[in-house]
Amino acid sequence: MNAEEGKKRMQEIEMLMGLPDFWENKEEAQKLMREYNDLKESDGGERSFPAVVHVIAGTGGDDAEDFARMLADMYRRYAGRKGFAVYEVEKHATPQGGFKNIMLEIDDKRAYGLLRNETGVHRLVRISPFNAKQQRHTSFALVDVTPKLPPLGEVEIPESDVEVSFTNSSGPGGQNVNKRETAVRVKHVPSGIIVRVERERSQAQNREAAFEILRGKLFALMRQRRVQTLRDLSFDRQVGIEWGNQVRSYVLHPYKLVKDLRVNYEERDPDEVFDGNLDGFVEALKGYTP
């Protein structure tokens, strides 16, 4: 159901709600009310789903990996402010405490509608904590936000298009949590998109979660209709996470400014933004279409 169909369905339910006998069948009325509220909360009639936020370090070495950590923490804090549950799906940590990549699930049906426009290359300018000369450094990270989707008619994945493998789940320091191969790696061969999930304790649960995330990535790809995104969404091909492609800049030195280059919205307190206060950016990007 697209946005126009969602609005039409809301109008149909509103007409039914106005009928004198609407509450005669209480169970059916409550079902329609739940459907109406779901549509109303989904940003103009568009579907709402939990969000999968994948942050990938780009150009910038240790600084980029630390920036990926900062962004992941920012989205955790944003979710906390909203009362949304957050789970780590998979991560590749570095000895310095950063991330080469990290994937978070924000488990609330409003999350994707709110965060979908965070997708893109983010740029950080600051005095590098990894440089003994205290020089200014620019680093980049890719943020990819996709919905976590149950089976949907428009996103059917033929088994022949998918390669599934199983590995041991890993904990801090690379130690295996157990000897069972519970982590699941799913590769969509036509697009090259790879999803690895180790959140759940069972292989079956991780496989189901991996396919939900894969469906979301393919759904987002279908919406954007950009071949370039196939490379952006792949774990194995980090292309274009560099200068000239950024959607938002976070400047900590020589002045303080966070600016979204798509809508020219800016805030002058980066600490507050990194603490999860993204409401201004979310509001400014409502209705934005890439």
Query: How does pLDDT run across 109-124, given as a tens digit for each residue?
Result: 899 999 999 999 999 9
Residue range 167-177: average pLDDT?
Answer: 55
Tell me how many degrees the CA angle 78-82-84 measures, rounded to the nearest 5. 90
Q: Which amino acid is at 255?
A: Y
Q: Residue 2: which pLDDT band, with cuts at 50, 70 and 90?
A: low
Query: How does pLDDT run across 136-159, given as a tens digit for each residue?
Result: 999 999 999 998 887 665 567 888
Query: In this predicted structure, what is the pLDDT of residue 248?
Result: 97
| Every domain range in the chain assigned CATH 3.30.70.1660 | 51-150+245-283
Q: Is the pLDDT reported for residue 125 higher than 70?
A: yes
Q: d(Cα 187, Cα 37) in Å, to the nearest integer? A: 36
Q: Residue 15: which pLDDT band, with cuts at 50, 70 and 90?
A: confident
215 compared with 282, residue with greater pLDDT: 282
Q: Which CATH number applies to 159-232: 1.10.1040.10, 3.30.160.20, 3.40.50.720, 3.30.360.10?
A: 3.30.160.20
Q: Residue 45: which pLDDT band, with cuts at 50, 70 and 90?
A: very low
Write the class of the CATH domain 51-150+245-283: alpha beta
Residue range 76-91: average pLDDT?
Answer: 95
Q: Which of 28-32, 33-37, 131-135, 185-189 has the lowest mean pLDDT?
A: 33-37
Q: Is the pLDDT reported for residue 50 higher than 90?
A: yes
| Every domain range in the chain assigned CATH 3.30.160.20 | 159-232
Query: In this predicted structure, what is the pLDDT of residue 239?
Result: 41
Residue 131 DSSP SS3? coil
Among residues 85, 185, 103, which one has the least CA distance to residue 145? 103
Q: Of all helices (H) and strands (E), which one includes residue 140? A: strand 136-147
Tell me how many degrees the CA angle 140-146-152 measures, rounded to the nearest 5. 160
Residue position matching structure tokens 């400047």: 251
